[in-house]
Copies of this chain bind each other. A is one copy, B any other.
Amino acid sequence: MLKVVVIGSGNVAQHLITVFGKSSTIHLVQVYARNVDVLAHLVPKEKITDDFNTLEEADIYIISITDGSIPEVSALLPFSGKLVVHTSGSVALEQINNKNRRGVFYPLQTFSKNKAIDFKQVPLCLESEKEADYTILETLAQSISNSVYNINSQQRKSLHVAAVFVSNFANYMYSIGYDICEQNNVPFDILKPLIQETAEKVQTLSPKQAQTGPARRNDITTMEKHLAFLTDEKIKTIYTLLSQSIQNNNE
């Protein structure tokens, strides 16, 4: 059994705690939280600590906290030579204090507080300073997910940026669509199958192959109609910029 300690009580930490708790090959030894009560619904009280000096022995310590606090918290750990990883997409491995063996355990998914997730489908991006530690991380990762990748810091950086586009910005496109519907008394529900099918398509086609719409087919008339329809200047600017960019991409 791999012994794991999770440090943190946020969204990702809670999802990890849940999936580790269900695993038959992982022993979740302890969880650190500044506010012990936050995890009361997930972990027996005696397994939660708010004092670094009472941290127990484990094979892996997973720091799952806000990016900016990783250097400080990793320096506060009262031991050295252990395997300590963070779960961030945008923080370099080197930000972990070098008194311990360092690594990264980055689940690339969008986690909601109240929505369960099938962890088997969550891609886990692993990195370790020492080669031998990679095997430990891989064992841990494979016990909860079918989708495990060896990703170095530079690649992880690129994935994090790419994720902003495919998730945060795509969601913002949904948000603009939602507002347009609301302003015109149209139920947003009408667009939901389209949203799902658009995401579905790129599971098998490349996004460039899947691209449709007026900009893709250089349909100036329709684009002009759309711009005439839109009233918000900022939304018009977004429409124009993205359309031009798609048109350039056609070439």
A residues whose Cβ falls under 8 Å from a Cβ of B: 67-68, 90, 108-110, 112, 115, 117, 121-123, 125, 147, 149, 151, 154-155, 157-178, 180-181, 183-208, 210-216, 219, 221-222, 225-226, 229-230, 234, 237-239, 241-242, 245-246, 248-249
Instruction: State A226–B169 Cα separation when bound (angstroms).
Output: 14
Which of B191, B203, B219 meets A166, CB within 8 Å? B191
For A192, the closest partner residue in chain B by CB is B203
| 15 additional A-B residue pairs with CB within 8 Å, beyond A108-B194, A199-B200 | A109-B193, A115-B201, A123-B189, A123-B193, A155-B186, A158-B180, A158-B181, A159-B184, A159-B191, A160-B226, A164-B213, A164-B226, A165-B173, A171-B213, A199-B199
In the complex the two chains form, is A190's CB within 8 Å of B149's CB?
yes
Q: A108-B194, A162-B191, A165-B180 are in contact. Are A171 and B67 (CB under 8 A)?
A: no
Min C-beta distance of A148 to chain B, whole Å: 10
Whether B173 contacts A195 by the Cβ 8 Å rule is no
Residues from chain B with a CB closer than 8 A to the CB of A198 are 110, 166-167, 170-171, 199
Chain B residues with Cβ below 8 Å from A207 are 171-172, 174-175, 177-178
Q: How far is the CB of A15 from chain B (nearest CB, A)?
A: 12
Q: How far is the CA of A230 from the CA of B165 in the complex (A)?
A: 12
The answer to whether B230 and A184 touch across the interface, beta carbons within 8 angstroms, is: no
Contact in complex: B201, A110 (CB < 8 Å): yes
User: What residues of B have a CB within 8 angstroms of the CB of A249 in the complex?
Assistant: 172, 175
> Are A168 and B245 neighbours in the complex by a CB distance under 8 Å?
no
User: A193-B123, A225-B90, A234-B248 are known contacts. Are A174 and B202 too (CB-CB below 8 A)?
Assistant: yes
A154 touching B234 in the complex, CB below 8 Å, given contacts A168-B246, A172-B242: no
A191 to B157, CA, bound (A): 13
Give every chain B residue within 8 A of A239 (Cβ-Cβ).
164-165
Cα distance, A248 to B67, chains bound together (Å): 23
Report the separation of the CA atoms of residues A212 and B245 in the bound assembly, to the nearest whole angstrom: 24
A111 CA to B208 CA in the complex, in Å?
15
Q: CA of A110 to CA of B208 in the docked complex: distance in angstroms?
A: 15
Known: A163-B191, A195-B170. A245 touches B238 (CB 8 A): yes
Can you pick out 21 interface pairs between chain A and chain B where the beta carbons lie within 8 Å of each other? A90-B222, A122-B193, A159-B186, A161-B180, A162-B178, A162-B181, A164-B213, A166-B176, A166-B177, A167-B198, A168-B213, A168-B246, A171-B201, A172-B207, A172-B211, A174-B207, A178-B206, A178-B207, A188-B206, A199-B199, A238-B245
